[in-house]
Chains A and B, each alone.
Chain A
Amino acid sequence: MISMLAAQSLSVMRSGQQVLKDVSFSIEQGEIHALLGGNGAGKSTTLLTFLGFLKPASGSVHVQGRDVNGNLGAARQAIAYLPEAATLYGHLSAYENLHYFLSLAGTDTGREALDDALDRVALQPEARNMRMETYSKGMRQKVAIALAILRDTPILLLDEPTSGLDPVAIDEFNRLARNLAEAGRTILLVTHDVYGACHVADRIDLLQNGVLVGAFDRPPGMDRIDTEAVHVAFAQHAGA
């Protein structure tokens, strides 16, 4: 079976510094895969490499079995991306932002579908016509998540998706992510939130200074990965 996302011996340089070293992993359809690590671990760099914004110094990244290098358009068509601290446009309302970005992606979406996605991320209906510059960080994040959902792509790359969300909204996001995965969508998320990752992910790769230092799978029949084990490993490598 072809992996939806795969990194093979991936190394990436940014501004003369090696930020990823010989990283390999693959993600199958319907799987939620979390990259966990501290600041500067190389998590966001991994996502940017899958999107073709950064080129591998060595190794390769594949989307739906195709090397991103040489198939950039197809890769971006298959991926919905939620960047870290996505603010979208402050002078536009949630509806206008969604409509604009979806039109750029060539996705024709009606108001009902927009409302459905905004309902799923629990954005208050009365806020949807307000300019996003009046939104809280959490509200902006919800609209960005809605955009990622609405792209209706087989793959979602989410960079710190729960950043700025309150605990209730984080729970809602986790449920939403699981529902999307059950519906066959593949999710690669990066985070430094150990507990959140353990609750939502099927597999966690621990990234430290650009190197994969650990992997944790959700045991069969369990609803989450062992938080304690991940926390210990995370603290151990962070302190190293």
Chain B
Amino acid sequence: MSKVLSIAREESRLWLRSRLALFTLLIFTVLLAAVSIATSLRMSEEHRERSEQQALAEETFLSQPDRHPHRMVHYGHYVFRTPPPLAMIDPGVDSFTGQSIFLEAHRQNSAMFADARSGAELGGFQGLTAALVYQLFVPLLLIAIGHGVFIREREENTLAPLLAQGVTGNELYAGKWVAMAGVTLALLLPLAMVSAAAVVRGEALLASFGVMGLYALYLFVWCGVILLVSAMVRSRALSLGILALFWLASALIVPRMAVESAVSAVPAPGKIETDLRMQAELREVGDGHNAGAPQFQQLRANLLIQYDVERVEDLPVNFRGVVSEVAEADVTEVMNRFAEERMDLEVRQARFAESFGWLSPVVAVSAGSRALSGTDLATHHRFLREAEDVRFDFVQGLNRVHVEQLDYTDDINRSLNEEANRRTRMSAENWNVLDEFSFQPAAADQRLARAGAPLGMLSAWLLLLTAGGIRAARRMQP
């Protein structure tokens, strides 16, 4: 063990005495700290802004004056997805999927205000986040520092004296690994600080440790790649070339291949085609605005039988309200079916793309990072489902007011005069049917479970690379 630590200490001393290595390390640490702080501040601001917007939207809805209840279901309401604390590290799909949905009757609107879309208009580049820096740029730094970690011993004729002192290939590999791991852990310090800040802001300790562990594992995989290549080849230039190519493939080529392959392997029908299909089904169901439409004749007949009356005016409930209520349930059933189909397709595409983590550690870590940070596709889908629950509940709540509190005769005559119109305005107290919406990230253990596959992939990478590295180090000859 003492030999391993001696070798590690010596390697670190070389880096510390090399101005270039120290300077590069310093620049990266400053960059990491700056990006981490900037992302942290931005996501804190997003959290504050969206929380305020949510409160304002609720206040605005509840402060509406007395109105006809159906006007209120179309007045609508906004819900916002507040970013979880760990979005400070990885905003994930947040900037692509939109963060707010306008809720109204008979419609499921798409999420709006996607930062990446507005950002793309400015230059087409994704914003720099702590996750991106750790996923793409820190491996480059490790390559710059470590590509010659074994080759240097050959080139400077120090391998023979080293081995002649009785140092085994295993000890040499372990010593170099410990040195690389030391640099890696130092580079993880800014991430640890942001994770700690996330815990202070209410994040679960398990999730924060999970993110730290994931990135440590990922960077150790890169250490494994670097050590393996450095132990196998005989020149620094070749080592640097191979590692640069591996980085290029892992960071740029395979992730794009993954997306393209997922789209091909799990084809999705076009949006226009899907929308047209859904609109056709919705037309058959009817949105309830025309209570005299053929779809509702059976409902009318059933109600007359149920309440044993001859005319809808004699029903103890508002027929137009009942139609709205039934139509909303039917429309929602159709919309939910299409939404679930779409989400299922997206999940299958995402899973297919994530399986490319067996080919690229970058794909694996980005999937794991989003899952642990609570900014993955599953979280977005849960936001859509929870928003839909809020929409359905408040629309049906107001439809119930329409059914029970609004007289049918007043309702159909409300355009005749001001007095009739006034009588159809329901008390604003009824707007309290709106549930308070506060989107929370999934529990830490659920997020950890979702990150299981990427963690498994990275562990497999590390095991294979370590085994290969040890084998190569054992075969090293002066």
Is B a genuine binding partner of A?
yes
- Interface set of A (CB-CB < 8 Å, partner B): 48, 51, 53-54, 73, 76-77, 79-81, 83-92, 100-106, 144, 147, 151
Q: Is the CB of A48 within 8 A of B478?
A: yes
- Please list 28 pairs of residues, one from A and one from B, whose beta carbons are closer than 8 Å in the complex, sorted by A's number: A48-B478, A51-B164, A53-B478, A54-B477, A76-B163, A76-B166, A77-B166, A79-B164, A80-B164, A83-B157, A83-B160, A83-B478, A87-B156, A87-B157, A87-B158, A89-B14, A89-B156, A89-B158, A90-B156, A91-B13, A100-B6, A101-B162, A102-B165, A103-B6, A104-B162, A104-B166, A147-B161, A151-B165
With a CB–CB cut-off of 8 A, which chain A residues contact B3?
Answer: 103-104
> Does B298 touch A at the CB level, under 8 Å?
no
Within 8 A of A (CB), among B125-180: 156-158, 160-167
Of all A-B residue pairs in the complex, the 5 with the closest CB atoms, nearest first, are A81-B164, A105-B165, A104-B165, A83-B160, A91-B17
With a CB–CB cut-off of 8 A, which chain B residues contact A106?
Answer: 166
> Does B18 touch A at the CB level, under 8 Å?
yes
**20 further A-B pairs in the complex, CB-CB below 8 A; given A76-B166, A88-B158:** A48-B478, A51-B160, A51-B163, A77-B166, A80-B164, A83-B157, A85-B157, A87-B156, A87-B158, A89-B158, A90-B156, A91-B14, A91-B17, A92-B13, A101-B165, A103-B2, A104-B3, A104-B7, A106-B166, A144-B161
> Does B10 touch A at the CB level, under 8 Å?
yes
With both beta carbons as reference points, the residue of chain A lying nearest to B163 in the complex is identified as A53
Instruction: Compute how far the CA of A103 lies from the CA of B8 in the bound complex, rounded to whole angstroms.
Output: 13
Within 8 A of A (CB), among B451-478: 477-478
With both beta carbons as reference points, the residue of chain A lying nearest to B160 in the complex is identified as A83
Instruction: Compute how far the CA of A83 lies from the CA of B478 in the bound complex, rounded to whole angstroms.
Output: 10
- B377 CB to closest chain A CB, in angstroms? 49
With both beta carbons as reference points, the residue of chain A lying nearest to B175 in the complex is identified as A104
Q: Is the CB of B477 within 8 A of A53?
A: yes
Q: Is the CB of A73 within 8 A of B166?
A: yes
Instruction: Compute how far the CA of A88 lies from the CA of B158 in the bound complex, rounded to whole angstroms.
Output: 6
With a CB–CB cut-off of 8 A, which chain B residues contact A144?
Answer: 161
Chain B: interface residue total (CB-CB under 8 A): 22
> 1/0 per position for B7-22, CB-CB distance to A under 8 A?
1001001100110000
- B172 CB to closest chain A CB, in angstroms? 10
Instruction: Compute how far the CA of A77 lies from the CA of B163 in the bound complex, rounded to whole angstroms.
Output: 11
Instruction: Compute how far the CA of A173 lies from the CA of B157 in the bound complex, rounded to whole angstroms.
Output: 22
Most A C-beta atoms less than 10 A away, residue of B6, B161, B163 = B161
With both beta carbons as reference points, the residue of chain B lying nearest to A85 in the complex is identified as B157
With a CB–CB cut-off of 8 A, which chain A residues contact B161?
Answer: 81, 83, 86, 88, 101, 144, 147
Q: Is the CB of B10 within 8 A of A86?
A: no
Instruction: Compute how far the CA of A178 lies from the CA of B116 in the bound complex, rounded to whole angstroms.
Output: 78
Instruction: Compute how far the CA of A67 lies from the CA of B10 in the bound complex, rounded to whole angstroms.
Output: 33
With a CB–CB cut-off of 8 A, which chain A residues contact B158?
Answer: 87-89
Instruction: Compute how far the CA of A144 lies from the CA of B158 in the bound complex, rounded to whole angstroms.
Output: 11
With a CB–CB cut-off of 8 A, which chain B residues contact A48?
Answer: 478
Most B C-beta atoms less than 10 A away, residue of A79, A80, A105 = A105
Instruction: Compute how far the CA of A77 lies from the CA of B157 in the bound complex, rounded to whole angstroms.
Output: 20
- A121 CB to closest chain B CB, in angstroms? 16
With a CB–CB cut-off of 8 A, which chain B residues contact A80?
Answer: 164
- A146 CB to closest chain B CB, in angstroms? 12
With a CB–CB cut-off of 8 A, which chain A residues contact B477?
Answer: 53-54
With both beta carbons as reference points, the residue of chain B lying nearest to A14 in the complex is identified as B477
Contact of B166 among A53, A105, A147 (CB under 8 A): A105
Q: Is the CB of B14 within 8 A of A104?
A: no
Instruction: Compute how far the CA of A163 lies from the CA of B17 in the bound complex, rounded to whole angstroms.
Output: 29
With a CB–CB cut-off of 8 A, which chain B residues contact A86?
Answer: 157, 160-161
Instruction: Compute how far the CA of A91 lies from the CA of B15 in the bound complex, rounded to whole angstroms.
Output: 10
Instruction: Compute how far the CA of A86 lies from the CA of B161 in the bound complex, rounded to whole angstroms.
Output: 8
Instruction: Compute how far the CA of A73 lies from the CA of B18 in the bound complex, rounded to whole angstroms.
Output: 34
- A55 CB to closest chain B CB, in angstroms? 10
